[in-house]
Structure 1
């Protein structure tokens, strides 16, 4: 085939893969625009003078962003992408601060080794204080039912001492208490530590803390071979029957043992953690507002000039009358505001019905003899429907409005002035304008002003309007604007109900798998971290399925904008993954004894959260959609000769068959271009993944402080992976992403973070402390027992 007919090659499609990427276009375009003004040309003319045929050719030569650039540098993609990476940085800072603040707590934990004491712990007493737990009861034979120096007479002479390792405890008073009497803090005195004693019918506690000590008798031991300040270590010490524990190197509060902690630095540091998080949230929200304003000021988008108005009647179908209303009432004190255009959101269902009816009539007409009366009736109806469709936007329109319109201003300043009047606190809640207070509050409008004008219906001002800044054109769901509120709520209830059932099913599946793995551990006699690996991987897979389900269900709901739809999807994804990841762990290991066992909550939290923090950021790197289209791309080379043959005939063939063939070839070429295009970043999923990592790690900080490092590493990995893919591989986003979803998730963190950490602190640390945070009625303890799981109670 001659060179002239080699119109397209495989390299064209390979280059297309690169051309789809994110490039620095705004800066280059602004440079051309400035030059065009200086040279008295249009932007298109200036572009052509520089050798660019069109905008596409111009964009191909634009440079890519550096992978190490600050997020603000790619603001042309929309403030939402800038704020996404800023949001990840904000979460990383929280974990870094918490990790530093928990260092004193970990130091305290590393100085104790009382893990085995959890074997004898009564978890039903973990959140309350029973003053009778250390009362003297004696052993099975009634021995030591009262306080006394019962060991003193057994070791008065070193050569005849009944104990191989005597200590000061020989001269101290003790008695046998119930098995749930806690040990005392070893920091007080080693010889005063309560010990678990194996008895014929079980075990009891050799309790020194229950008795008043006689200083005179103790002084006798301090002067001889019994002076060692060591804990009782007789042969009757109880064992934990082979139970295995996580080890003190995990630096968890389990090291302190049950009811034995007294160090005030631990609750103090977690209080500081909550306070620091609140401060960081306030700073993050302020920073996001400033960044959004900075991006908005540096870029120009259609919604810089537009407002969205709701509340109009369905009969408000005349663009001119709506335009006149806002020309007079849009801005306070101005009656001639320049309005460029009013875009009416039509009742799409009615529009679709008319289009469908028109197609049906056309098909019927083609099958009918044009000379018959029936054909004339069909033609008459078609003319009526066509006239109704063409009348849209005029006074004579036959279509209904959705009650939502977009008003376009000539100047951005007018749009902002309109929002100050119609979108203030007083406007939203009282349908009134806001008034200024003297010079001090000149621009704040703190006082209630006059009532806002209402849109006239039949000459009377009746319709109360709500005004907000419009979304960008590609963000508006025009087809769903007319859906009634009752229908929206009904659909929302259905989709959320289905999502709840899916979460419950996934929760049950993961819980069942975890129970099965525990059974394997018991039969095999081994476990630990590796036993948690399989359920953790399954949780990662199930989270992916929940994300797909949330996206599908969100698509089924009715929302005015794609951003609102993304809110709904992100909320479902976040809740589903948090429950499936963090919730199932706690449900499995509900009692304090199970938290610190080998293969228990600490092991499970570490492996599950580590895997679910590292794997999700890797998934986008695989770009499964692009890999799936590999089969289609492989067919390109065989089709190229045919494409060049058809295209070589010229762009305007006269033969009808060749015209259809050319049209089919162009459509096939576009399909191959789509097959060569990389995937695009999904901000909704990325936000949900970040929230899942943050909330799950945050909730388990008190029981395993080093989990903060897992969250920090996971979010850092997600930050760099997403930034690399966005700037180096993914296709350029089809529409700018605004700041709404970022602000939504900062508010989400504001509500969930401090409360979640406070509740988690109470749940996980209270069992370790001797002075309980929860005192009072048995009803209060019962409520917490039921909430925390009561299968052994």
Structure 2
């Protein structure tokens, strides 16, 4: 009903087409606002039902270079909430990683020159310089003084309630506006750091989302790099634009035949991936603070190129509506092949795992491992690809926009696009579960920016209706479509720039708040309790490379017996000790000096005895929270110290099995699910369902008869923290992992 061709030669003055376009535009705008509220509701629900590190973390900007952790702790404790004291767990400063990297490279270069040089004065000078570097970077305290802060920091609070109150004061709409206009020192009523530095405090991103290395860039470097990447990207789009336009002229030269009309669509399909790869490489060169911010920039750059390649090119090549729109090989036929090829190629390539096949081909090109290749390098070559959320969003938006914008001239495209989006959804889900490794934990901000592109699509649909319907309408129908087009050109652009909260208010999406469940009144664990539920590589101080160097240097000092030196956190887990007392049921977070495992390693510490180890030159590579040599082994090691979230709140155990479940065959008493000293709360053996195991070490009277007998593993019982096994008598029992041995 949005196409004038469906009303016959006498329907050109009808307003029905304009009314249908009006309804479609309204559905787009209102639907996007209502989906925005659904996103807002899901964020609140996740906050209520899930405990993650960012529930306690504040992200601070605007700090001076010489700030110290203790100084920032005092400021936040006194000023985070007006009139109240705030308990701070830890401050993680974003140190200048670029400067630290330069010093490390200088030290390595000096060592190499020492080995090759035969000139004694040169060797003396190099030794002196390395001694200076050692004195500056040989201990955590010296390194803190030598490497400046970049102006960013993450502050961990003890309580979530304090976290929410602080954000309500420091991240209000008024403070965000002042921060955007850089007017906080003049108009903000919040306290200044040292009386002169205006700080911006927001909720921190997830630890796996942070890009600490990009925080070293200055404002001028960020602006210059973004301008440069945008200029290069625009030139590349212009080149591809010329290629596709040339294919359109080639189609006309071949007489516009049916086979020739597919050439522009194929050209766009092949230029699209190259454009995406180019922009992806360019965006990585920009200094974004989070991976979500990087993906958001990629989405906007790809949306710009898609509008040019997929929407502007067909129209530019067929400007004359009288001769080029409806002829053989004209605009309508180009649109048909464009949407059909797009709807088939994208779901097919994702469904068959084409990116994985290409990566395997490149990996097999190397053949046998080359000299110098490590196991970590080979694992990187053959590991599954990480799902690109930005590319998935853009592919879905590409299909959606092409089908929507060309609906007034090609209504069948909306039906084809609808089917294509369903196929794309299921193939993407298949690819995510079968061919991809687990992606980082994305922020909801990316989806919020994609919703803004839906508002832009309403703007584009209004303009397309005006362009494509104007030649076919006359009189009142033509005037009505023009009025609707102009109105929604303004409305779409206006809503794309407004905050989501105002859009939800204008679209009456707030009515859902009366039907949505409120946040439960259950008390949430404090940070010292909740930290036991997260592995080491998902905490802020263990994703910051400089703090991993601190960990290594501290371990080295403890091995040398330096008095008064101890770890600020457990190097096995990254957990802090509660100054108010250890959590009931948990062991002390610090280990004796002789038994502390090396950071990011398994087993006892093994330190070198040369000066390079003292400096920590390779600390970033060697103390990474995810061991490069054997990440699977480290994951199993971390499971020994990671507990279920229920265990921090004394949740009583429930029985999974009824009847003859035989929980009495286990040796652990029926008690609240709390971790006891020396007891592992998660399985430490990699059993799988169907595996044959041997039962050993049962001490209870009912269990001793099954010692040294075989059983078959049925599965893991998450509530009892034991393995469900089928004994040789046919009885199903729940037995601890320590009492099972693989056959």
TM-score range, shorter chain: 0.5 to 0.7
Distance 1:392 1:287, change over 3 A: same
Q: In the aligned structure 2, how far is the partner of 1:634 from the partner of 1:693?
A: 34
Task: Report the aligned-residue RMSD.
Answer: 3.1
Per the normalisation by structure 2, the TM-score is 0.59
1:487 matched to 2:192? The reply is no
Q: In the aligned structure 1, how far is the partner of 2:300 from the partner of 2:98?
A: 29
| DSSP 3-state at the match of 2:202 | strand
Q: Retained in 2: the 8 A contact 1:319–1:394?
A: no
Alignment of 1:239-638 (within 5 A): 261-316=12-67, 318-335=68-85, 337-367=86-116, 375-390=123-138, 397-430=145-178, 451-456=189-194, 461-521=195-255, 527-528=257-258, 530-593=259-322, 594-630=324-360
1:769 pairs, out of 452, 473, 476, with: 473
1:736 pairs, out of 441, 446, 459, with: 441
1:747 pairs, out of 440, 449, 452, with: 452
Q: Retained in 1: the 8 A contact 2:136–2:143?
A: no
Max radius of gyration: which structure? 1
Q: In the aligned structure 1, how far is the partner of 2:338 from the partner of 2:254?
A: 18
Q: In the aligned structure 2, how far is the partner of 1:392 from the partner of 1:691?
A: 49
Q: CA deviation at 1:638?
A: 8.9
Q: CA deviation at 1:383?
A: 3.0
Alignment of 1:18-29 (within 5 A): none
Q: CA deviation at 1:765?
A: 0.9
Q: Deviations over 1:299-338 (max 9, x none)?
A: 332222111111011122x111111111111123212x22
Distance 1:374 1:535, change over 3 A: closer
Distance 1:296 1:532, change over 3 A: farther
Q: Retained in 2: the 8 A contact 1:532–1:608?
A: no
Q: Retained in 1: the 8 A contact 2:209–2:442?
A: no
Q: CA deviation at 1:547?
A: 0.5
Q: Deviations over 1:97-137 (max 9, x none)?
A: xxxxx3xx56x73452x5xxxxxxxxxxxxxxxxxxxxxxx
Q: Deviations over 1:378-426 (max 9, x none)?
A: 3343233233335666797022211111111122222222211111122
Alignment of 1:679-698 (within 5 A): 679-698=385-404
Q: CA deviation at 1:680?
A: 2.7
Q: Retained in 2: the 8 A contact 1:626–1:677?
A: no
The number of residues matched between the two structures is 474
Distance 1:622 1:383, change over 3 A: farther
| Structure 1: tracts of 5 or more residues without a match | 1-101, 115-184, 186-255, 433-447, 640-660, 776-793
Q: CA deviation at 1:749?
A: 1.2
Distance 1:455 1:383, change over 3 A: farther
Q: Retained in 1: the 8 A contact 2:135–2:142?
A: no
Q: In the aligned structure 2, how far is the partner of 1:742 from the partner of 1:484?
A: 28
Counterpart position of 1:39:
none
Q: Deviations over 1:156-205 (max 9, x none)?
A: xxxxxxxxxxxxxxxxxxxxxxxxxxxxx3xxxxxxxxxxxxxxxxxxxx
Q: Deviations over 1:673-728 (max 9, x none)?
A: 44543323111111111111122222111112221112211211111111122123
Q: CA deviation at 1:479?
A: 1.6
Q: In the aligned structure 1, how far is the partner of 2:187 from the partner of 2:281?
A: 45
Q: In the aligned structure 1, how far is the partner of 2:382 from the partner of 2:139?
A: 42
Q: Deviations over 1:606-663 (max 9, x none)?
A: 1112212331232233434532454687799999xxxxxxxxxxxxxxxxxxxxx9xx
| DSSP 3-state at the match of 2:452 | helix
Counterpart position of 1:780:
none
Q: In the aligned structure 1, how far is the partner of 2:223 from the partner of 2:261?
A: 41
Q: In the aligned structure 1, how far is the partner of 2:364 from the partner of 2:112?
A: 40
| DSSP 3-state at the match of 2:216 | coil
Q: In the aligned structure 2, how far is the partner of 1:329 from the partner of 1:496?
A: 40
Q: Retained in 1: the 8 A contact 2:353–2:431?
A: no
Distance 1:636 1:378, change over 3 A: closer
Q: Deviations over 1:192-234 (max 9, x none)?
A: xxxxxxxxxxxxxxxxxxxxxxxxxxxxxxxxxxxxxxxxxxx
| Structure 2: tracts of 5 or more residues without a match | 181-185, 481-743
Q: CA deviation at 1:368?
A: 5.8
Q: In the aligned structure 2, how far is the partner of 1:289 from the partner of 1:298?
A: 14
Q: Retained in 2: the 8 A contact 1:392–1:399?
A: no
Q: Retained in 1: the 8 A contact 2:137–2:143?
A: no
Q: CA deviation at 1:265?
A: 1.1
Counterpart position of 1:78:
none
Hey, which bits of structure 1, 4+ residues long, moved more than 6 A?
393-396, 632-639
Q: In the aligned structure 1, how far is the partner of 2:329 from the partner of 2:305?
A: 24
Per the normalisation by structure 1, the TM-score is 0.56
Q: Deviations over 1:332-389 (max 9, x none)?
A: 3212x2211111111222212211221222233335689x676554334323323333
| DSSP 3-state at the match of 1:702 | coil
Q: Deviations over 1:11-48 (max 9, x none)?
A: xxxxxxxxxxxxxxxxxxxxxxxxxxxxxxxxxxxxxx
1:109 matched to 2:109? The reply is no
Q: In the aligned structure 2, how far is the partner of 1:688 from the partner of 1:467?
A: 31
Distance 1:345 1:319, change over 3 A: same
Q: Retained in 1: the 8 A contact 2:58–2:203?
A: yes
Q: CA deviation at 1:544?
A: 0.7
Q: Retained in 2: the 8 A contact 1:319–1:393?
A: no
Distance 1:330 1:391, change over 3 A: farther
Q: Retained in 2: the 8 A contact 1:540–1:616?
A: no
